[in-house]
Amino acid sequence: MLAIPLPFVIALLLVILLIRMLAQSEAFLRPAPIFTGACILLVTAVGLRWTVDLQIVRFFQPVAAALLPPIAWLCFSDLRQGPSRGKWLHFLPAALFLILSATWQSWHPPIDLLLALLYFGYGFALLHRAYAGLDSFEGARLTDAAGAQKAALLAGALLMFSGAVDLAIVADFHFYQGNHAVSIVGISNIIVLPVLAYAIAIIGRSVPEAETQDEAPASPAIVTAPPDDGRIIDAIETAMRDKQLFRDPDLTLTRLARKIGIPARQISGAVNRLGRNVSHHVNEYRIKEAQRLLGETDLTVTSVMFECGFQTKSNFNREFARVTGMTPSDYRRSGAATKS
């Protein structure tokens, strides 16, 4: 019976994940599919190290490993406000590792130690981004901001774990002449990469399609006067009540800023000073409309969900329970809908 090495099985699962991304209209040149493709290459390289141990594979493996942290970070750069300039700078580490790998036979540079520093650096940056709060994910759909934050936490933690693995490899070479290095790399990648690729896939799904030129109003002008919290909250209230922006399932903090002509940071600051974040604030308008529809119409719960701007039942049920203390179905059955 033919036995397929485990790394190749993981690579096959990642290929399936990549195909699903592309089938869901995820452009191949966006960071999430690129990251998944890099994971496939790295896991395949690990499998080849386990089976044939070719010199070209030893050369390629650290270069592929150096690509993962910056690509993971670029996946989150899609969720940042404004254009991301200088993205190419994030690929300088991979170019450095290409040189180090090519010259390793001459002077044995500390590749594993440098990889650990690279993973720790990007892992810390992702954790810092996640702990900055939901409003730091300006480009994520407001309904998906919580998921994007959890994905950032998971990705940052996994990169930090990978950095620790690289330090373990350094220790193995120091104390045991690297006898366990291949096994350490293989096992850690088999554990980390599928989970990390899944976290990046979550990020890819939380980024809406770009607005067309006809849909996107002009960007807000730079405001030099101190922000007026009352004016900002009133502008949000007007946009939600009159234009019903909350019905847009692709609404992000960046899009909201463009729609009402106020910079995203000022919106975030004003809402934060109310003791909440923008995602929760907008979702409360959605839940209020959902309560009305549940009480005044015969629409199914799923139809109500879509009417109010939610795309998944999990997000809808979570936010509905946060605001009302019960699920949409229980709310309708309880009679609370007809009393409100």
216 domain-assigned:
no
Domain shared by 198 and 236, yes or no: no
Report pLDDT for 26.
54
pTM: 0.82
- The answer to whether the Cα torsion of 273, 277, 280, 284 is positive or negative is positive
Please provide the size of the chain in residues: 340
Report pLDDT for 340.
54
213 domain-assigned:
no
Domain shared by 91 and 171, yes or no: yes
What is the residue-wise DSSP string for 92-142?
Answer: HHHHHHHHHHHTHHHH---HHHHHHHHHHHHHHHHHHHHHT-GGG-TTSBG
Tokens read off for 114: 């440098």
Tokens 């203390």 belong to residue = 325
Domain shared by 144 and 291, yes or no: no
Q: Whole-angstrom Cα distance, residue 329 to residue 61?
A: 52
Report pLDDT for 84.
56
**Per the structure, how many domains does the chain have?**
2
Tokens read off for 10: 């993981």
Domain shared by 334 and 270, yes or no: yes
Residue ending a domain, choose from 151, 172, 206: 206
Domain shared by 64 and 119, yes or no: yes
What is the residue-wise DSSP string for 201-237?
Answer: HHHHHHSPPPPPTTTPPPPPPPP-SPP-HHHHHHHHH
Report pLDDT for 120.
96
User: 57, 48 in Cβ contact below 8 A?
Assistant: yes
- The answer to whether the Cα torsion of 185, 103, 44, 30 is positive or negative is positive
Tens digit of each residue's pLDDT, the chain (340 residues): 444 567 788 888 888 888 887 776 555 546 678 888 888 888 888 788 777 777 888 888 899 889 999 988 888 776 665 445 678 889 899 999 999 999 988 998 999 899 999 999 999 999 998 998 888 888 888 888 888 888 889 899 999 999 999 899 889 888 888 788 777 877 787 788 888 887 877 776 777 765 544 444 544 444 445 568 899 999 999 999 999 999 999 999 999 999 999 999 999 999 999 888 999 999 999 999 999 999 999 999 999 999 999 988 989 999 999 999 999 999 988 866 555 5
Tokens read off for 292: 């009305």
- The answer to whether the Cα torsion of 256, 262, 267, 270 is positive or negative is negative
312 domain-assigned:
yes
Instruction: Determine the residue type at 275.
Output: G
Domain shared by 135 and 69, yes or no: yes
Residue ending a domain, choose from 206, 237, 259: 206
Domain shared by 172 and 257, yes or no: no
Domain shared by 152 and 253, yes or no: no
Q: 264 lies in which domain range?
A: 229-339
Collapse the DSSP code of 141 into the 3-class scheme (helix H, G, I; strand E, B; otherwise coil) and give the result.
strand
User: 163, 116 in Cβ contact below 8 A?
Assistant: yes
Report pLDDT for 327.
92
Our measurement of the distance from residue 311's CA atom to the centroid of its chain's CA atoms, rounded to an integer in Å, reads 17
Report pLDDT for 326.
93
Q: Whole-angstrom Cα distance, residue 85 to residue 93?
A: 17
Domain shared by 97 and 182, yes or no: yes
Domain shared by 185 and 275, yes or no: no
